Amino acid sequence: MSPMVIALFSLVLLLVLIFCGIHLSTSLMFTSLVTVFFFTGRFAVAMNVLAQSAWGAVRQYMFGVIPLFVLMGLFANLSGASKDLYDSASLMLKKVRGGVGVATVVANAIFAAITGVTVASAAIFTKIALPQMLRLNYNKKFALGTISGSAILGMLIPPSLLMIVYGSQADVSIGKLFVSAIIPGIIMTIAFIIVILIVGKVKPSYIPEVEQLTEEEKKDYWKIVLKPWPIIVLIIVSLGGIWGGFFTPTEAGGVGAFGAFLIVLFKKGFKKKEIWETLLSAGSTSGSVLILLVSASTYSKTLSMCGIINSISAFVEGLNIAPLGVILIFILILMILGCILDSTSILLLTTPLMCPIVRDMGYDMVWFGLVMIIAIETGMITPPFGMNVFTVKSSLYGIKGCENTTVNDIFAGSTPFLIAIIVVDLLCVFVPSLVTYLPNHM
């Protein structure tokens, strides 16, 4: 069989296995095995390729960044950082119309610099922010959309698991990816805030008038505002250390995890059960990501060995489409895939196919990684399988007034934020210096 026929068969087989409910890592491994067997005609060679790829996939030092940053986020959440950040932001913005919504976005942005996972932010801020919004008579759909939409900052603002996955698959510096996301992350945060302010002007009934500070809040104003300072310092040290070249991303993860652990000890004391549960959760999360990376590395090497990537690259070049047009087509494909697959799966499936083509066209791979991740993240709030939307829905249990809320309500409320994400992604496409400026000055 020709490489293109093998490529088509490989992709079809992989999609069939995924839609049959087989775990992505198993699907990738099996597809790789079958693909190499068809290409070489020898089962022993296929098994050897599989074994070597699995052995070499995650032995590198840089992969230590995954469990360390996951542990940092879990310890930070255990310390109560999310509530402290929200309380601080909401108090400072209380005199602004839509201040509680803006505070949710700001707290999500800062919390994203600790967790790197969107669903964690969606679940936490549903419990923290939604009751306050409903108490102030925010439109329920818009309040839910604000939480699910702003939670995507968890995968854009570093440290981000998607950036680590992309960096490992595309052979791109994870440190540069982290730094490159700072400006787009800030722009995305501002875009979400603008959405809230516009809705407040266009639909005044959606957002109530400003609320006055209570006497207790006036008295404890600076105490509440400055309460999250340990987490802010930790973020500055870990990310600033990467940008300044003081430590690698893996070392920054170690510093961040240790710093977050100290914050837990300082605020809550050493509780053996909680610490043990946090360590188990970090191990479980990290293990699942690393298994996916092993299988994705195997699949990538399989495609390369069979010459499939060269065939696809030649096919794209033969279409006579401008390079920027190819990028826009890739973005559209990623957004469509976001409607049916989770973010990590999309990145693992498309990176081996898209990155060689983009690299051959002469584009910066750090820039393309950020553009990919933003495009993929639209899938977190698009039907039918928007992960953030379902996370918010599952977190509504016990919140008064949300008994009859449907996922369609949350999807509808998230629409303005979906538009903002697409606009920011296109802005990064047409103004690449927004992504490349900081990493080029590291």
pLDDT of residue 96: 78
Please check whether residue 115 is in contact with residue 76, taking contact to mean a CB–CB distance below 8 angstroms: yes
Count Cβ atoms within 10 A of the Cβ of residue 267 and give its class: 0-12 exposed, 13-18 middle, 19 or more buried: middle
Query: 125-142 burial string, b = 16+ CB within 10 Å, else e?
Result: bbbbbbbbbbebebbbbb
pLDDT of residue 34: 82
Q: Which residues of the chain have pLDDT under 70?
A: 1-4, 53-63, 116, 211, 304-313, 317, 442
pLDDT number for residue 404? 81
> DSSP label at 98?
T
* Cα(46)–Cα(44) distance, integer angstroms: 5
DSSP 397-416: TT-TT-TT--HHHHHHHHHH
> What DSSP assignment string belongs to 190-228?
HHHHHHHHHHHHH-GGGSPPP-PPPHHHHHTHHHHHTTT
Question: pLDDT value at position 178?
Answer: 87
pLDDT at 342: 73
Q: What is the pLDDT of residue 194?
A: 93
- Please tell me the predicted confidence (pLDDT) of residue 63: 67
Helix (H) or strand (E) holding 85: helix 81-92
Residues 6+ apart with CB under 8 A from 170: 351, 355, 365, 369
Question: Residue 392 is encoded by which pair of tokens?
Answer: 């918010």
- What is the model's pLDDT at position 1? 62
